[in-house]
Amino acid sequence: MAASSSSSSRRVDNGYGASSQQQQAGSRRRKGPGTLATAYLVIYNVVMTAGSPVKYKCNRLIKVGVTLTSCKKHDFMVQSEDSILLFVIAWTVTEIIRYSFYTFSLLNHLPYLIKWARYTLFIVLYPMGVSGELLTIYAALPFVRQSGLYSISLPNKYNFSFDYYTFLILVMMSYIPLFPQLYFHMLHQRRKVLSPAEEQKKAE
C-alpha cells in the first residue's frame, strides 16, 4: 500500500496533466536553441550590429514617415534639420548595444559592461530618439499642410477623404501615452536585471 502511495505521489500532475518527472524532462529539453540555431542567431546579430549605422541612416527615416522622402522630392529639405541627427544617433547606438547584448547572451558570455549599457543608456537614448522623431515630424508639418501631401479630398469616386496633416498630428499625440509605457517598462527591467540581489543569485 505504501509503495502504491509513493508511486501515486510521483505521478502528481499539479493540475497540468504532466508528472514531475515529465516536467523535469521538459525543462531539460527547453534549455536553449541547438548548435545550428545558435550559430545562425549569432551571425544574424553580428551582421545587424555591424550594419546598424547604415541601417538607421537609410531606413529609420521610414519610422518618422514617408514625409521626409517626399519633402526632399519637393525641395523642402527636412533632412537638413538637426533633429534628424538626434534620432539617427540615438537609435543607431541603441541597436548596436541591443544586438551586441543578444550575441553575447547566445554565447553565454555576456560582459557586464554590455549588460549595463543595455539597461542604462536607454535613459538618455530613448528620450533623445523620440525627441528627434517628433521634432522632424513637426518641421515637416507646414509643408504637408500647404502642399496637401498624401491627402485625399472629396469628392472622389471612392467617397473617402484623408488628411495627412491631421494624421501626422495624431501620430505625434500617440507618443504621449505610448512612450511612457515603454520607458517605465525599461526602468522596471533595469531595476530587476541590475539589482544586487539578481547579481548574487546568478553568482550562486
Catalytic residue among 95, 133, 164, 165: 133
Catalytic residue among 44, 81, 126, 150: 126
Helices (H), the chain: 2-10, 20-29, 35-58, 61-64, 67-73, 82-106, 112-118, 122-147, 164-193, 196-203
DSSP letter assigned to residue 152: B
Q: Report the alpha-carbon distance of residue 71 to residue 73 in Å, rounded.
A: 5
Q: Clarify whether 95 is annotated catalytic.
A: no
Cβ-contact 102, 41 below 8 angstroms: yes
Here the cell at position 183 is 520607458
Q: Clarify whether 198 is annotated catalytic.
A: no
- Report the DSSP beta bridge partners of residue 152: 162
Residues designated catalytic: 126, 133
